[in-house]
Structure 1
Amino acid sequence: MRSSLGEKIFYGINYVLLGVFGISCILPIIHIVSLSLSSEHAVLSGFVGLWPVGFTLDSYKLLIEGTRIVSAFKNSVQITVVGTILNLFFTILAAYPLSRTYFYGRKPLTMLILFTMLFSAGLIPSYLLVKSLGLVNTYGALWLPGLVGVYNLLVLKTFFENIPRELEDAARIDGCSETRLIMQIMLPLSMPVIATLILFYAVGHWNSFFSVMIYINSSDKHNLTVLVQQMIMNNQLAQQVTEGRLSEDMMESVTPQSIQSAGVIAMIVPMLIVYPFLQKYFVKGVMIGSIKG
């Protein structure tokens, strides 16, 4: 079907606007990468634009050898992996029964869950609750309060409801139990939505900052996001460097701005690597799980 002149103009304007928007999003990232790979003189002189000037990896060497970046990275991985597994497990356990028409009281329970999406207890009551449970300075304080995301629960619940009832009936005729029904029929058919939820939960845990600052007191348990934020706010490289582990030449070859840029890149690269593997499921999962056919 041939497009009219008006449609071609409309599509052309859309392509231009989306192209400009995409470039405006990627240019700051390219600039940060260039800062992290440029020499001290180029950074201080303001010569760095979209391409490294005086290419060097000293910023990354100093970041790895002189800061807690490795331990913070391990903490971020632990928080993200364990938290995502727990979120996904309990979201499935909550969404499946709420999607069954024969589950008694599913509508009142759904309304109560929706209520928590609109109203919350607030910061101080939440902190007092976490403290009373003995979870302060533990990662349980990061995992337990957001164990089930209401929006993600509704997406998965809607997807379960859209799976043809005939598949369930056929499985039950063959003697399929409830657990086997979930594991061998429901979950394999729900992989697009599950991949989308994994991405939602993983990004949330990886970028967690405010909750870590509130509940985690020990600096040894801080994640990568908090470490990078401290490096940026302090703006003093010496405070982030372990004394006696680095040579003076290496410390003089980089600037606080370049090592801050290296920290930002170290924080965003893992998610940039993971996202392409889940992107093909992303749009399909959200659309199928959000629209009831």
Structure 2
Amino acid sequence: MRASSGEKVFYAVNYFVLSVAGLLCFLPLIHLFATSFSDPGMIMAGRVSLWPVQWNWDSYQALFVGTRIVDAFGNSIVITLVGVLCSMTASIAVAYPLSKDYFYCRRFLSLAIIFTMIFSGGLIPNYLLVKSLGLVNSYWALWLPGLISTYNMWVVKTFFQNIPRELEDAARIDGCGELRLIMRIVLPVSLPMLVAISLFYGVAYWNNFFNVLIYINDTSKYNLAVLVQQMIFSASNPQLAIDSDLQQAITPEGVKAAGVLVMVFPVLIVYPFVQKHFVKGVMIGSLKG
């Protein structure tokens, strides 16, 4: 069906507005990129805007040599990978039974879970609970209290609920048990949704700042979010274990910009590989006739 003239104008305006909005959101990142790769003198003179001036790698050299960013990067990877695995496993385990009409106490448990979206114990009770469980200064303090996001779990539950009953009936006729049904039928059909929810969990764990600052006392266990935050809010150069020549060849702004880019870069790399699952048709080809 061919679009009318009015629809063409509407689409053109939408594309223009969205393109401008996307560019405005991307400009700060471009400026950080330019700052991190520019000569310190040009940065101090305020001549850096959207493109590096006199390319220079000293900010990254100082960042990787003089800070604990490599250790913090590894900590962030551990927190994110283990956190996503645990959260997705728990979310699926809770969402699947709640999606079935025949599950006992389904309505009561659903209302109890929704209740947690509205009311919470608060920061101090949460900290006292984590402390009483002996989880302070342990990554389990980051994983267990926020193991399940109610919103994410509800999305998974709604998706499972919309899977055609005929698929499950056909699998049961062929002799599938409940666990095999989940692994062979439900999860493969739900792959695009699971990838999207995993990305939501992953970004939340990767950017986890407040909980790390509260529950983790050992600075060697800090993740990138906390390390970069400390660098950004330091009045002078971050605590850099570098020689005096390199110290004089850098600026605080350049090192901070490099730190922010190192933190953002993994998410920018991962997203293009999972973006296709957001728009992929989930049930295409699952049923015939």
- For the criterion TM > 0.5, the same-fold answer is yes
Whether contact under 8 Å (1:194, 1:285) holds in the other structure is no
Q: Which deviates more from structure 2 when the two are superposed, residues 199-208 or residues 172-181?
A: 172-181
Please state if 1:209 is matched with 2:209.
yes
Query: Aligned partner of 1:18: which letter?
Result: L
For residues 34 and 106 of structure 2, the distance between their equivalents in structure 1, rounded to whole angstroms, comes to 54
Pair 1:282–1:3, CA change in 2 (3 A):
closer
Q: Does 1:256 align with 2:255?
A: no
Whether the aligned pair in 2 keeps the contact of 1:196 and 1:285 (CA below 8 Å) is no
Q: Could you tell me which residue of structure 2 aligns to residue 240 of structure 1?
A: 239
**Identity of matched residues, %:** 57
Task: Give the whole-Å Cα distance in 2 for the aligned partners of 1:17 and 1:236.
Answer: 40
- Within a 5 Å distance, the mapping from 1:257-276 to structure 2 comes to 257-276=253-272
Residue in 1 that maps onto 2:287: none
Most deviating of 117-126 and 262-271: 117-126
- Supply the distance in 1 between the matched residues of 2:105 and 2:181 (Cα, whole angstroms): 21
Pairing of 1:18-29 with structure 2 (within 5 A):
18-29=18-29
Task: In structure 1, give the amino acid aligned to 2:217.
Answer: N
Aligned partner of 2:142 in structure 1 is 142
- Distance between the aligned counterparts of 2:66 and 2:273, measured in 1? 33
Aligned AA (2:267): M
- Aligned residues of 1:195 and 1:285 also touching (Cα < 8 A): no
Q: Equivalent residues in 2 for 1:1-293 (5 A)? A: 1-237=1-237, 239-242=238-241, 246-284=242-280
For structure 2, list consecutive stretches of 5 or more residues without a partner in the other structure.
Answer: 285-289
* Compared CA separation, residues 170 and 23, structure 1 to 2 (3 A): same
CA distance in 1, matches of 2:11, 2:175: 54
User: Could you tell me the TM-score, scaled by structure 2's length?
Assistant: 0.95
Q: Which amino acid aligns with 1:140?
A: W
Instruction: String of CA shifts for 1:93-144, please: whole Å, max 9, x gaps.
Output: 0011111111111111011000001111111111111111111111001000
Q: Could you say what secondary structure the match of 1:187 adopts?
A: helix
CA distance in 1, matches of 2:21, 2:229: 26
> Per residue, is there more helix in 1 or in 2?
1
Q: In the TM superposition, what whole-angstrom CA distance separates every residue of 1:188-226 from its partner, at most 9, and x where no partner exists?
A: 111011101110000000000011111111111110010
The one-letter amino acid paired with 1:268 is V
Paired residue total: 284
Return the alpha-carbon distance in structure 1 between the equivalents of residues 192 and 119 of structure 2: 30
Distance 1:23 1:283 in 2: 22
**Cα displacement (A) at 1:240:** 1.6
Distance 1:107 1:156, change over 3 A: same
Across the aligned residues of Structure 1 and Structure 2, the Cα RMSD in angstroms comes to: 1.6
The alpha carbon displacement at 1:10 in A equals 2.0
Alpha-carbon separation, structure 2, partners of 1:224 and 1:34: 21
TM-score, with structure 1 as normaliser: 0.93
Contact 1:193–1:285 (Cα < 8 Å) also in 2: no
The structure-2 alpha-carbon separation of the partners of 1:45 and 1:124, relative to structure 1 and needing over 3 Å to count, comes to: same
Query: Which position in structure 2 is the counterpart of 1:291?
Result: none
> 1:9, 1:188 → 2: CA distance?
40
SS of 2:138 mapped into structure 1: coil
Q: 1:106 to 1:285 in 2, by over 3 A?
A: farther
| CA displacement, residues 69-109 of structure 1 (integer Å, 9 cap, x when unaligned) | 00000000000000000000111100111111111111110
Partners in 1 of 2:108 and 2:280 — Cα distance? 29
For structure 1, list consecutive stretches of 5 or more residues without a partner in the other structure.
Answer: 289-293
Deviations 1:145-200 (CA, angstroms, capped at 9, x unpaired):
11111111111111111111112112212221111111111111110111011100
Partners of 2:179 and 2:15 lie apart in 1 by 48
Q: Aligned partners of 1:166 and 1:209: how far apart in 2?
A: 45
